[in-house]
Structure 1
């Protein structure tokens, strides 16, 4: 089984999940994921993840109780593909994240509180933030009531190395981190060396390393075989020495 983490609000979240890509859409991806015990489904991408989940539920391929659905604030806007008229959701999200940029903390706090009210109104059980850089989290969270604090911080700078650095900063503030592992990661550095020694892909090492660090990992598969690859990577156990080797390389 895929390990789970406990978020600050008590919610349990699977440590491995899948998103959607332009190359792989539709309800069959949701069914394939659950076949490999991957129940965390990320609906944050601009692809039709919401439609895929709705179809899988309608066809009886999966059960709502067996899924953990992660969405984003973009899904609450009319322009997002998942909100088109043919994709009306008849289910709520388990966790909804809001993306914050480099705005001043005071402005972002106001946006966050507005988002939280809207998210809970549409049935989101838990709230999270998505940051794309070194955002001043302590300043943002200052003065926010306990019930509105984010349960998960998702990092997404667009580059794996940058995501790793920001994830370290976020964890220093005591938050649970979610990261997206790309299919292709440069083979240089410790990730590449460990992958060569173990005879696996660099992406597999990234997945195993992030899970060993106690992070939630999202993968965006390009084929149904890649779902199986991600599942095998989740079972890869990196020892403390290998984790430390990779950590040290990221500090350079």
Structure 2
């Protein structure tokens, strides 16, 4: 049976500090590869910090995020880390108009990319945009509509971004249809009381629905009134916990 060593880096990104966040991604990728990782992942919008709020509406900031992603891919390759795929959350923009939403081409996307051999070989945008509680993503972003699958060491890895795991449908049944061996979700999930129990039950449920091992990677740290507690989780297809990271670390 093929084995995949996955590095889930629940880092603390700072909103707006793209250079500092890039350095953290390089540092922890180097550490992960040194530990023998075959696939390295970072949280939702790790490159820009989360939530970016109205910064998403500033074209110069969107372009800075896109340029930093390309530079990060080149740097990882230049430092001898390019052979290991790295999943990074960042701020992107759509290349086409979305008439049903009245959004022109160039509208912001909450996105993630896979960096490999010096470039972003795969990009995806979040499907479900939360618009409740502390979230107002529907105001800023346009929705993604693809389910990219990455093959690593013979294992098909389906990718999702935060709310895509919390909402019914979308990427979870698509992962089952694709016969993925791993569903990897990158998140910036704010802390609230008893949310650790809620998360665990969610990940167990989605793993059973997807029919594969499911990894839930979350940010740590704080941004204004929000606190992020990590609590990254990996469960097998039956919902049994394989690994779980501590909170606030």
Of structures 1 and 2, the larger Rg is shown by 1
Q: TM-score, normalised by structure 2?
A: 0.41
Higher strand share: 2
In terms of fraction of residues, the more helix-rich structure is: 1
Question: Normalization by structure 1: what TM-score?
Answer: 0.41
